Amino acid sequence: MFDAVFRLTRAVLCAGLLGLSTVVLSVLLLLPALLKRALPLRPVQGACDRLLMALAGAWVSLNNRWIAFCNPRTTWRVEGLDGLNPRGWYVLTCNHLSAVDILVLQRVLHGRIPFLKFFLKRELIWVPVIGMAWWALDFPFMRRGKTREDQRRDLEAARASCEAFRRVPTSVINFVEGTRVTAEKREAERSPYRHLLKPKVGGLSVALATMGEQFEALLDLTLVYPGGTPSFWDLLCGRLPAVVLRVQRRDIPENLLGMDASGERARLVRQARWLEQLWQEKDAWIEATLKP
């Protein structure tokens, strides 16, 4: 009984800390973000970018502390972190399992690569508080236009967002499955994989087209929760028994880069085939990892 009350109290306190720190961060980010846009001068933008990244890094460090406090018995098995550059430029792909994935990845990768940024649906910019923080940190927002002209405008808007990443070391992560994987979703889309959904090349293609030559490499992340996929409440309550993460550094083939409109369709096909190869290997590795 006492243990259950302690866990609940700890979960509520950590949830409150997360909420409060997110509000404070969003308010602190607003001034340098507005200044950077009001005075588009390179020295001003550089100083504002450094301040924004320092604030975001402090927020991640605080999150890492309460995650460790709430989950003291979690086993972390991570491979592939050697040789990563905290001042480099990376594009990342990862399978998507849970609402806690980003927090888990931030905990493992914090200080080893630049602050993680990810593609978001345009509607999320209106989410109270956190939407403002995403905007201030130059997260790329993607619309999902239905007509070809809408899609073209969406692509140009996403490219404009990614251009901002050229000023400061950045890690752009893309959950190429587009949603969290479940058995029902795998069945509905007739996925050929045992543990994954079909990868979608859209967001990754935008990043490669805009900044492909600047990225040092693609970091192919494979995330597994051997004790079962946790919810956010599980994370708060200390019910995260184990995390397994494999990080693979992969060189990006040159024929996947570029922005030439005349060859865009062929490039998308090559990118999709490359992703499918990565996903086949990822699926086999997950299957081997989960075997008793």
Structural domain boundaries in the chain: 74-290
pLDDT score at 210: 75
pLDDT score at 146: 58
**pTM, whole model, 2 decimals?**
0.90
Over the chain (292 residues), the average pLDDT of each successive run of 10 is 80 92 94 91 90 95 95 95 93 95 96 90 84 88 64 66 76 91 94 95 82 88 96 94 97 81 79 95 96 82
Q: How far apart are the first and last CA of the chain?
A: 32
Task: Return the CATH number of the domain spanning residue range 74-290.
Answer: 3.40.1130
pLDDT score at 165: 76
